[in-house]
Structure 1
Amino acid sequence: MHISRLDLYIFKLTLFGILVAAGGVCLSIILVDIVEQLRNVSGVANANTFTALRFTLMRTPGILELALPFAVLVGSIVTFMRLARSSEIVAMRASGVSTWRFLSPVAVLAALVGLFAIFILGPSAARLNLAYETQLQALTAVATTKTGEGGRTMMWIKDRGPDLQITVSAEAGSAGQYSNVTLLAFSKTDSRFVARYDAKTARRTDQSWTLFNGVKSSIGTQATPFETLSFPILKDRLDDSQKNKDATARAMSIWDLPRAARDAEAAGGSPQRYWLQFHRKLALPIALLSMAMIAAVLSLSGDRFGQRAIMAAAAIAAGLLVYFVNDISGALATAGYAPSWIAAWCPPLAALFIALATVSYREDG
């Protein structure tokens, strides 16, 4: 296939518009999400503004993946408005260039962006989201306060064991060593208070808490001293099954979704949400192509600026309508009223066919 200079010009112009729209989305995400991250890390030891900014940047690819159809829609609208305002579309059509000819580079670019999102952006966003969740959980499990006497730094640490939820107050030491330790143990099933342990020193590892030279107190019994007492704890790092259980289907990579669906079905749960997201990710190039074609309707509008503005608003409204229809079909599939592949593929295909029919009608009559 011969690639002309006109094809490259429209391709570059559309790519620039999509990048500008995606950049605006990323900037909006950073400005809004950093406030939430500052709230999450406030009062946490070893956390500052740069920690919140790092968390925000880790979340940005995942949110950008969700907003990518609107970035393509807005970028395509900007491209066609620029071509219409400079009368380049009129010049191309007057020279005998078909509408399908100058829409082809836009369609190819939309498909390429969709493939990029499937194979690069999506898996990267899934890994960064998992790292964000793990780091945030590990960071917010420890809080610091100042005692009134001497201004000593105290650590408040939450851990979970096989049968107990553990909350520890202690003076921070080095290499996992603590002093003036108070450990509160609660039942993992019903959060009922079990006992309190006061110790002079303690040591924490990835596997356990070990208390030295302390006293155990519980309701209805006398305090009993002990020399050494250990509490097994679960590691902060989640294994693969826990990752799949805790991560939402939307935040998972396309490579992990089939396994997560099979695991959910084997455990007696519903695999519908995983298969729905799997097919949605596969259908993303079609969804982006439909957004680009919806924006293409703008190129065949009238010459006056007012008409172009109305068509741009109509294209945005059509994109929002496709989004809501896609959301409703997803809810039906999750509830079991429709197959996942139908719910994922029908809305973007319907939008694409309607847009192509509109362009064909305006072009050929």
Structure 2
Amino acid sequence: MTATLGLYVARRFFGIAVATFLAVLSLVVVVDLVELLAKNSAGNADFLELVWMAVLHAPSVTITAAPFTVLLAAMVCFAWFSRSSELVVMRAAGVSVWALIGPALIVAVLMGVASFAIYNPVAAAFAQRFDALEEANFGRSSSRLSVTGGGIWLRQGGAEGQTVIRARRASESVRQLWRVSVFRFGADDRFEQRIEARRAVLEKGLWRLSGALVWDVGGSDLGDLGEAARNTEPQSHDEMTLPTNLTPEQIQESFAPPRTISFWDLPGFIDVLEQSGFSSSRHRLHWHALLSAPVIFAAMVLVGASFSMRHARFGGLGAMALGCVLTGFAYFFLSDVAGALGASGAVPVLLAAWGPPAAAVLFSLGLLLHLEDG
């Protein structure tokens, strides 16, 4: 196949893929806007701000829908070639089906690389901003937990004020913390008490602290924490309790969602999670799923070509579209099941992330070989 023909196929596929992506993006924005308007019954945000929130949320959704978008683009592109008789001319000129699909595969792989290297960081930044606006306008509770290089930080509140807990390390279930520092603030946000403990165990409605030193600083200003602690004699307790309204499930759900973390920042975040004693399966699975995007996109092109380049010749356009869409849904079902198993630790993360794309590639190659080469 000449370079001119290859560029023509690549340009046609890329144009259809961009148009399909923009259509999906617009649809997601409209659906999100309707949902936000329903949430905004109290009128906390004006219409333009709701539109902006819908725009911010849409990129993270389109990343999830990207494989299906590529599948639709491939099906439309090759069906176009079949219906316009361009496919017949190309095949009569001696162009094999593999040479015809090759330019579209190259474009799909490049799009997959761009999706995690460029588009994902933008979508993650937009998702963070969307979460902040959602919290400000609709009162959605912010994360109770953050993880840094210095350990983990927990926040809990109540009628008596806020409590901030820092720990160097935690158990995977977050039921035990080690090397714990507790900072208690009153209802007026003045610092009241500092606690240093060897270990904290989360029980129903309370933290049980072991080997604790307690400084009562009596409502100091934030800028005087160090001075207040130095001027106060600590009280020693072999064991003490601290009321809490947190549960292990609430704490684990408070991790920064993987969609709000850039592809390039995920490895560092995963390292910090593991050093702190937490399971990083969900975030590692998300990172590998992003990394496998070129393989997934290539598989979707092969699936789309398998159906559209065969059935359209005999006028089976409806059967072609139905078979392609059902195959796409089957892939998403397999991917979701594998993702759930990988996140729970039932199967290795690598198998959960790369198994469905590899299966899709093998299936589509087998289908193409059967339909095209007999």
Q: TM-score, normalised by structure 1?
A: 0.70
The Cα offsets for residues 67-97 of structure 1, whole Å up to 9 and x where unpaired, read as: 1111101111111111111111111111111
1:300 and 2:310 equivalent?
yes
Percent of residue pairs identical:
29
For residue 19 of structure 1, report the CA deviation from its aligned partner. Answer: 1.7
> What is the correspondence of 1:118-197 to structure 2 with a 5 Å cutoff?
118-140=116-138, 164-165=157-158, 185-188=159-162
For residue 231 of structure 1, report the CA deviation from its aligned partner. Answer: 8.5
For residue 40 of structure 1, report the CA deviation from its aligned partner. Answer: 4.0
Q: Which residue of 2 aligns with 1:217?
A: none
For residue 42 of structure 1, report the CA deviation from its aligned partner. Answer: 4.3
1:258 and 2:256 equivalent?
no
SS at match of 1:327: helix
Q: Distance in 1 between matches of 2:17 and 2:298?
A: 13
SS at match of 2:264: coil
Q: Distance in 1 between matches of 2:97 and 2:125?
A: 41
Q: Which residue of 2 aligns with 1:52?
A: 50
Q: Which residue of 1 aligns with 2:24?
A: 25
Does the C-alpha gap of structure 1 residues 186 and 41 become closer, same or farther in structure 2, counting only changes over 3 Å?
Answer: farther
For residue 353 of structure 1, report the CA deviation from its aligned partner. Answer: 1.5
The Cα offsets for residues 230-275 of structure 1, whole Å up to 9 and x where unpaired, read as: 987xxxxxxxxx9x95421234221222222222222322111111
Report if aligned partners of 1:58, 1:129 keep a CA contact under 8 Å in 2. yes
For 2:358, give the aligned amino acid: L
For residue 6 of structure 1, report the CA deviation from its aligned partner. Answer: 1.1
Higher relative contact order (CA 8 A, sep 6+): 2
Q: Distance in 1 between matches of 2:281 and 2:155?
A: 31
Q: Which residue of 2 aligns with 1:359?
A: 368
Equivalent of 1:268, from 254, 273, 277? 277
For residue 56 of structure 1, report the CA deviation from its aligned partner. Answer: 0.6
Q: Distance in 1 between matches of 2:155 and 2:303?
A: 55
For 2:313, give the aligned amino acid: D
Q: Distance in 2 between matches of 1:321 and 1:346?
A: 14
For 1:301, give the aligned amino acid: H
1:310 and 2:319 equivalent?
yes
The Cα offsets for residues 138-184 of structure 1, whole Å up to 9 and x where unpaired, read as: 34459xxxxxxxxxxxxxxxxxx97755xxxxxxxxxxxxxxxxxxx
Report if aligned partners of 2:24, 2:69 keep a CA contact under 8 Å in 1. yes
Q: Which residue of 2 aligns with 1:73?
A: 71
Q: Which residue of 2 aligns with 1:98?
A: 96
Q: Distance in 1 between matches of 2:265 and 2:156?
A: 30
SS at match of 1:97: coil
Q: Distance in 2 between matches of 1:138 and 1:96?
A: 62
Q: Which residue of 2 aligns with 1:110?
A: 108
Does the C-alpha gap of structure 1 residues 108 and 162 become closer, same or farther in structure 2, counting only changes over 3 Å?
Answer: closer
Q: Distance in 1 between matches of 2:118 and 2:138?
A: 30
Which protein has the larger Cα radius of gyration, Structure 1 or Structure 2? 1
Does the C-alpha gap of structure 1 residues 354 and 138 become closer, same or farther in structure 2, counting only changes over 3 Å?
Answer: same
Q: Distance in 1 between matches of 2:266 and 2:366?
A: 34
1:339 and 2:348 equivalent?
yes
SS at match of 1:303: helix
Does the C-alpha gap of structure 1 residues 314 and 231 become closer, same or farther in structure 2, counting only changes over 3 Å?
Answer: farther
Report if aligned partners of 1:295, 1:312 keep a CA contact under 8 Å in 2. no
SS at match of 2:42: coil
Q: Which residue of 1 aligns with 2:291?
A: 282
Q: Distance in 2 between matches of 1:164 and 1:98?
A: 67
SS at match of 2:278: coil
Q: Distance in 2 between matches of 1:10 and 1:334?
A: 39
For 2:3, give the aligned amino acid: S
SS at match of 1:53: helix
For residue 302 of structure 1, report the CA deviation from its aligned partner. Answer: 5.2
Q: Which runs of 5+ in 2 are unaligned?
A: 141-153, 164-184, 192-218, 223-250
Report if aligned partners of 2:125, 2:260 keep a CA contact under 8 Å in 1. no
Report if aligned partners of 2:161, 2:186 keep a CA contact under 8 Å in 1. no
Q: Distance in 2 between matches of 1:111 and 1:196?
A: 55
For 1:105, give the aligned amino acid: P
Report if aligned partners of 1:77, 1:296 keep a CA contact under 8 Å in 2. yes
Q: Which residue of 1 aligns with 2:333?
A: 324
1:14 and 2:13 equivalent?
yes
Report if aligned partners of 1:44, 1:140 keep a CA contact under 8 Å in 2. no
